[in-house]
Amino acid sequence: MRPTWAEINLETISKNTSIFCDLLDDSVALCAVVKADGYGHGAVEVAREVLASGATWLAVAFVEEAAVLRREGIEDPILILSEPRPNEMEEVVKLGGVRPAIYTRAGVEAFSSVAEEGAPVHLKVDTGMHRVGVRPNEIIDLADYVVELGIQLEGVFTHFALASTPKDPFNMSQIKLFDRVLEELSEAGHTPEIVHQANTAATLEWPETHHSMVRVGIGLYGTEPSKFFSERFKELGLKPAVWLRSEVSYLQTVESGEGVGYGHRWRANKNTRIATIPIGYADGIFRGWWDGGEVLIGGAHWPIRGVVTMDSLIAEVDDSIKVGDEVVLLGSQEDSFLAVSDVAEVLGTIGYEILTSLGARIPRRY
């Protein structure tokens, strides 16, 4: 077996969940977002842990993700964050306790045609993300249609576009617009039991957006939505739950002027000791990770040299490194640490992409 795996600390996820629960009033529920296989951590394992630690709802992106949880015996309420296609609505009903997001008349018709009277749905309103959702000026008509067709308007929600940049004034615009939508719904006789707006960033930054439920995803896994939140994470004690490791599989010395890897994107400027590590872009280690990226070996930071290949990468080391030495790509080793957010910054992306890109062929150990 290849000596490469991701170690998932479920106790850390439990502690992170408890920290978020402590930020909420007793009347506010925590919905744990476990889409994309629990942000690469394992949806089923994470779901069980967060539900035992204070979360009372789960959220996924697609029907098939909800089905996986149900097959594994998880019976708690599940919200599907995007509207299922009409031909998927029957499966949603059969899963039991799964609430679809709804934002079209076709969606209302499809769900009501296969669901029992009073089956709950959550209307999603587009307050500025402009991805999916009913427009604010159309939500009353859609809410009326939900009631007319005999299903229950249990929830209404929206999603922030810029919450990871809290100082952007557009956030306040979305908050105010959603508040106005709720007021107009109430005036039209619609008072959904569950109102949710806050993601991880908003849960930390704007208590007024907590309403009756918050949806926390990336924060449960101990990764900040952006560098803006790094200090807050430290203050609260939120910690990353994944530790990605491998081992040195081969060592050699290249001479000055020799190129390394495909395209010889890096050339040695002196005789250089290099180590091959059996993990590559097929495992979710981005090809461009080499440009400024590092690994930990023996508690020290070593630069990646040459582009990451499909199954391996190469790091510059010294004579102290031996075949079989542990290599850490995410997490801690002795007194050194490689954070998901640090890697994301090197790659010009976000922590979400790093975590959800970790490939299926990397075994998860819990």
Indicate which residues carry an active-site annotation.
35, 262
Determine how β-strand 300-303 pairs with β-strand 266-267.
unpaired
CB burial of residue 310 (10 Å; 0-12, 13-18, 19+): exposed
Q: State the Cα–Cα distance between residues 38 and 32, nearest whole angstrom.
A: 9
Residues in the chain: 366
Sole residue written with tokens 């806050």: 198
DSSP letters, 274-298, are EEEES--GGGT--GGGGTT-EEEET
DSSP letters, 44-105, are HHHHHHHHTTT--EEEESSHHHHHHHHHTT--S-EEESSPPPGGGHHHHHHHSSEEEEE-SH
Residue 39 in contact with residue 218, Cβ under 8 Å? yes
Q: State the Cα–Cα distance between residues 56 and 76, nearest whole angstrom.
A: 7
Sole residue written with tokens 């077996």: 1
The SS3 of residue 365 is: strand
